[in-house]
């Protein structure tokens, strides 16, 4: 259905732009990347005749860009940080646009449905929601009811994608850059070739929505999206799929076509340990097609913890992947959740030692050494007994559950490491000094002394994104200042 047609036909609802429906799409935060999650519905809504205003709060001020009138406002809740920022933004939006319907979409929308509705949200969408969002706008203008107003509408069916509409977003070169080991920076584009995931790791926010399923974005759409970002200056493409090898045939078709059209373009993606092992034969092709970095969620080198998280790999698998990636000449950026209810002072030291043994110090962002497990609403971790997850309370306003480690020394250690890393990074301390500082603190907590590791253990520097790749419960003051 066509927003404009619908509005014109009914003609009984004031809109901000004559007879054209005005829809605002807001991304609170998307790891410093130009959000695909806004560009895709923007394309469908524009095709349906709506006037679309995109606002990216990581780059733009809400108060400046919010139009004086709008019919519908959609907010993308793609991660915990974004959801916290959205909670701060909601009262301002409802004050400025008292007649607009407000809706939320993204991984964190359905699981926080009641909180969102109590904050003035009219409709909640999850999964492959882009077409449902157009339908909702149409029903709003026709003043008919829509199921997403009563219950979160999670759609896992196939939808008709359009080439993402990126012209309403800030310029690509204002987003996070690819930082090469020599310090040079490249303009980074961002797209998605699949959404959802076929795995069901217990701590993962994708799982409550996609329930172990994924959907491919048609290759022609992905390639056209890459083309338009190359035209905007992208020198590197970051694939934001939860796991790039959920559909290896689809992924390989895309990178082969991309490389043949843009041979100078490099790319990176997230691939799980299990897939890197299973598809090790593809690694030379990934490298030959311009892949320069694979991020992989290792989480822990403690097999008991990995079992609790249902990660589908062991510590030994991770070590094998480090070897095969080196053999293939591909850079690996492992990520971790080192502080969980199953962390001990000893196994934290083992994690630190594994980084030395595997020469991964340069490959791991120091903040990764301080992260604490988040248990959001809907998490599969809630399937575990409470005595295992150490959950102490449910805090809807914090968007999840609080847990306290049974050994208070582990929580103290986490805070010490967090404070140390934050202050060392602010003061520009080098990677080796930060790592040795963390190691000293960890060993002291375990009642041991340790000698500093030397530069020989650093390993090779790898490309990184200029914006850190992790989700935190508390947005920064800077992020909250985006109103």
Closest distance to ligand SF4 from the beta carbon of 241 (Å)? 9
Provide the binding-site residues for ligand SF4, judged by CB under 6 A. Answer: 197, 199-201, 204, 206-207, 242-243, 272, 297
Nearer to ligand SF4, 207 or 399 (CB): 207
At closest approach, how far in Å is the CB of 162 from ligand SF4? 25
25 vs 201, beta carbon nearer ligand SF4: 201
Nearer to ligand SF4, 96 or 380 (CB): 380
Name which of 290 and 378 has its Cβ closer to ligand SF4.
378
User: Which contacts of 117-124 are long-range, i.e. CB under 8 A and separated by 24 or more positions?
Assistant: 119/87, 119/90, 119/91, 120/90, 120/91, 120/94, 121/90, 122/149, 123/148, 123/149, 123/153, 124/148, 124/151, 124/152, 124/153
Q: Are 37 and 90 a contacting pair, CB within 8 Å? A: no
Query: Is 355 within 8 Å of 458 (Cβ atoms)?
Result: no
24 vs 186: CA distance, rounded Å: 30
Closest contact distance (angstroms) between CB of 170 and ligand SF4 is 27
When the beta carbons of 132 and 274 are compared against ligand SF4, the nearer one is 274
Q: How far is the CB of 461 from ligand SF4 (least distance, A)?
A: 25
Rounded CA-CA distance 42/53 in Å is 8
Smaller CB separation from ligand SF4, 121 or 269: 269
Could you tell me the smallest distance in angstroms from the CB atom of residue 272 to ligand SF4? 4
Distance in Å, CB of 83 to ligand SF4, minimum: 17
Q: State which residue, 26 or 309, has the beta carbon closest to ligand SF4.
A: 309
Closest Cα to residue 355, out of 341, 342, 338? 338
Least distance CB 208 / ligand SF4 (angstroms): 10
Residues 191, 198: Cα–Cα separation, whole Å: 19
CA R_g for the chain: 23
CB of 201 to ligand SF4, least distance (A): 3
Q: Which is nearer to ligand SF4, 265 or 269 (CB)?
A: 269
Beta partners for 74? 25, 103
Enclosing H/E stretch for 311: none
Alpha helices in 182-333 (DSSP H): 207-210, 219-231, 248-261, 273-278, 283-288, 303-309, 315-328
The answer to whether 205 and 242 have CB atoms below 8 angstroms apart is: no
| Smaller CB separation from ligand SF4, 208 or 437 | 208
300: tokens are 């822990």
Do 469 and 31 form a contact (C-beta atoms < 8 A)? yes
For the CB of residue 380, give the shortest distance to ligand SF4 in the complex, in Å. 9
Q: Is 277 helix (H, G, I), strand (E, B) or coil?
A: helix
């Amino acid at each position: 259905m066509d927003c404009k047609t619908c509005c014109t036909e009914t003609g009984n609802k004031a809109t901000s732009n004559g007879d054209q429906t005005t829809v605002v799409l807001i991304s609170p935060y998307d790891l410093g990347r130009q959000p695909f999650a806004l560009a895709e519905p923007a394309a469908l809504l524009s095709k349906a005749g709506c006037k679309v205003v995109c606002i990216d709060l990581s780059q733009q001020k809400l108060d400046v860009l919010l139009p004086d009138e709008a019919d519908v406002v959609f907010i993308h809740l793609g991660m915990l940080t974004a959801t916290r920022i959205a909670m701060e933004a909601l009262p301002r939006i409802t004050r400025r646009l008292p007649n607009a319907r407000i809706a939320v979409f993204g991984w964190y929308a359905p699981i926080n449905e009641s909180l969102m509705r109590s904050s003035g949200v009219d409709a909640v969408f999850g999964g492959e929601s882009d077409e449902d969002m157009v339908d909702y706008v149409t029903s709003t203008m026709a003043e008919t009811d829509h199921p997403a107003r009563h219950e979160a509408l999670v759609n896992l069916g196939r939808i008709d994608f359009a080439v993402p509409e990126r012209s309403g977003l800030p310029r690509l070169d204002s987003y996070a850059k690819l930082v090469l080991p020599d310090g040079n920076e490249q303009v980074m584009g961002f797209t998605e070739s699949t959404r959802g995931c076929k795995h069901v790791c217990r701590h993962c926010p994708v799982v409550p929505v996609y329930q172990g399923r994924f959907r491919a974005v048609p290759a022609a759409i992905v390639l056209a999206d890459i083309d338009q970002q190359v035209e905007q200056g992208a020198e590197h493409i970051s694939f934001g799929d939860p796991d790039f090898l959920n559909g290896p045939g689809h992924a390989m078709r895309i990178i082969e076509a991309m490389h043949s059209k843009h041979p100078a373009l490099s790319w990176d993606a997230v691939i799980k340990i299990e897939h890197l092992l299973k598809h090790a034969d593809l690694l030379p092709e990934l490298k030959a097609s311009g892949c320069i970095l694979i991020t992989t969620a290792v989480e822990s080198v403690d097999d008991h913890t990995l079992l609790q998280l249902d990660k589908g790999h062991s510590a030994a698998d991770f070590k094998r992947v480090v070897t095969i990636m080196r053999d293939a000449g591909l850079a690996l950026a492992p990520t971790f959740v080192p502080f969980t209810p199953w962390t001990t002072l000893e196994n934290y030291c083992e994690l630190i030692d594994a980084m030395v043994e595997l020469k991964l110090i340069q490959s791991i962002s120091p903040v990764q050494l301080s992260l604490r497990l988040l248990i959001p609403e809907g998490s599969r971790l809630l399937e575990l007994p409470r005595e295992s997850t150490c959950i102490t309370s449910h805090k809807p306003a914090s968007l999840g559950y609080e847990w306290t480690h049974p050994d208070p020394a582990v929580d103290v250690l986490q805070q010490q490491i967090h404070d140390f890393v934050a202050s060392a990074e602010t003061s520009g301390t080098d990677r080796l000094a930060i790592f040795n500082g963390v190691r000293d603190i960890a060993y002291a907590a375990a009642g041991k002394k340790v000698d500093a590791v030397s530069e020989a253990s650093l390993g090779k520097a790898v490309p990184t994104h200029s914006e850190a790749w992790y989700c935190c419960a508390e947005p920064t003051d800077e992020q909250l200042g985006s109103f």
